[in-house]
Amino acid sequence: MRIILLLLILLGFQKSISQELFVVTDPASNVPANSLAINAMQSLFKEKFEPGYNYHIMPEVTYGLNKSLMFRATAFVSNRNTSLVTEGGSVYTKYRFFSSDDLNSHFRLAAFGRYSFNNSDIHQEQIEIMGHNSGFETGIVATKLIKKVAISSSVSFEKALDNTSKNPFPNSLGNNATNYTLSFGKLMYPKKYTSYKQTNINLMVEFVGQTINENGKSYLDVVPAIQFIINSQARIDLAYRQELVTSMLRTAPNGVYFNLYYTFFNITK
Amino acid sequence: MKKAYNYLTILVFALFSLSNTYAQISKAEIRATGLTCSMCSNAINKQLKALPEVANVATDLNTNTFTVILNENTTISPATFKQSVEKAGFFIGSLVLTSKTTSIKNEKFIVVDAKTIASEEVTFQVLDKGYVTDKEYKKLSKSLKKLETYLANNEDDFHIKILN
């Protein structure tokens, strides 16, 4: 908690310079056209009802088809069944439909959709199609960049389906939810750019919430993060997710993210 | 068959009219909008460097200004720079080009300030929509409202302001 407070204070008092490449929320901006990004997102979350940790690794490939449209494919690997097993995958697309840019600022809107499949057992009320549930999610995201401070917010509808016929979604649980996020990001270093080789350091705080539509059960998490941009091409995220309030059953709400990201520009001439 | 022939005519015409907007440009100074991060800037840098006409790109990361040096005797349309910046996910805030004076002396390049150019080389700013910030475009639409071609927003002509 102390770290979160410290980060919030730092964000509040530092003069602005920033970034919108958030850890949990994807901003309204897309990856560049004709670029390919590879990404390995790892998370280690502490189990609440049993000893040990739940580890996930999600390799991702992101492709920018043109300036407005991007696609992403993700594989879900986890240790939920003691050893590392590939449990599923997902496809994601985002379309930027509005953009108002000025010098050092922009406001953008995008619509996104994701479809995931997963064959693991269903073990909580929280619906999470990133590595836990089969299902789909669709929503919109708005991102504002003002003089280097980025603020992003999204609202989405998420519906869980059966995790194959072996693990059907329990009838007793609400199978669809509304998700909402609010993210703040700020570039702390460098104060003044000298070259592309300079490492950039971003600080971020994200608020991530969900309400199950059928019964109103909800949670709200905070995710403070530090991010390093290396050589203007690679990215390392280190984030911590902490549950603030919840009225639903979640088996491992708190933990850390470790994300590695690399962009290949202009893959075809 | 007739339909196909019509399409072919349109295509040939489109290619022909597009090629007219090409000018012998030696240098382009592009200021991009909508970004503050070096990774975003690098996306534009890489798009510009991938153009076969480009010899070198120098960037001022603090102002997001890209100075593009083109290969000798290259002809290129200002629209190519706009496409590159937009492919990276951003927009042009200002575009200043240096070219051979003779290569812009045609009806595709409309000089808005009626300056005559004596020198062999000319430096000019492109004033059309998509080549200036939205705010500047609104201002220009007022000050240039008598210019019908400016308000028409045709993509195959350019309105330019001579800077030298």
How do residues B68-124 score in pLDDT, each as one tens digit?
999 998 899 999 999 999 999 999 999 999 999 988 888 889 999 877 778 899 999
> Do the beta carbons of residue A95 and residue A53 sit within 8 Å?
no
Q: Report the candidate in A83, A85, A66, A67 with the shortest Cα–Cα distance to residue A75.
A: A85
| Predicted pLDDT at A9 | 44
Q: What pLDDT is stored for residue B20 in this prediction? A: 66
The alpha helices in B20-111, defined as continuous H runs, are 38-49, 78-87
B47 and A32: CB-CB below 8 Å?
yes
Chain B CB within 8 Å of residue A268 CB: no
Contact B91 A35 (CB under 8 A): no
Nearest C-alpha of chain B: how many angstroms from A260? 15
Q: Which of residues 191-250 of A touch B (CB under 8 A)?
A: 192-196, 198, 200, 229, 232-233, 235
pLDDT mean by block of 10 residues, chain A; 269 residues:
49 43 89 92 94 94 94 94 90 96 90 96 95 96 90 97 94 96 93 92 96 97 96 94 96 96 83
- Residue pair A151/A143 in contact (Cβ under 8 Å)? The answer is yes
Alpha-carbon distance of A223 to A203, in angstroms, equals 11
In this prediction, residue A12 carries a pLDDT of: 40
- ipTM confidence score: 0.82
Say what the alpha-carbon torsion angle B109, B112, B117, B123 is, to the nearest 10 degrees.
Answer: -70
Cis previous bond, A190, omega within 30: yes
Cβ distance A200 to B35 less than 8 Å, yes or no, reads no
Task: Report CA-CA distances (Å) from A79 to A52, A56, A76, A109, B42.
Answer: 11, 7, 10, 36, 37
Contact A194 B64 (CB under 8 A): no
Burial of B146 (0-12, 13-18, 19+ CB in 10 A): exposed
Residue A81's pLDDT is what? 77
Q: Chain B contacts of A200, Cβ < 8 Å?
A: 37-39
Q: What is the three-class DSSP state of B152?
A: helix
Chain A contact set for B41 (CB, 8 A): 196, 232
Within 8 A of A97 by CB-CB distance, chain B residues are: none
Cβ distance B42 to A232 less than 8 Å, yes or no, reads yes
Which helix (H) or strand (E) segment is A45 a member of? strand A36-46
Contact B50 A266 (CB under 8 A): yes
Mutation for B interface: A31, A62, A102, most B CBs within 10 A: A102
- CB contact under 8 Å between A102 and B135, yes or no, is yes
Tens digits of residue pLDDT in B126-138: 999 999 999 999 9
The pLDDT value recorded for residue A70 is 96
Residue B142 phi/psi, 5-degree rounding, is -75, -50
pLDDT score for B5:
61
To the nearest whole angstrom, how far is the Cα of B86 from the nearest Cα of chain A?
6
| Number of CB atoms found within 10 A of residue A158's CB | 24
Predicted TM-score of the model (pTM): 0.85
pLDDT tens across B4-40, in order? 666 665 555 555 544 568 889 999 999 999 888 888 9
Tokens 């203007």 belong to which residue? A232
How big is chain A by its Cα radius of gyration, in Å? 18
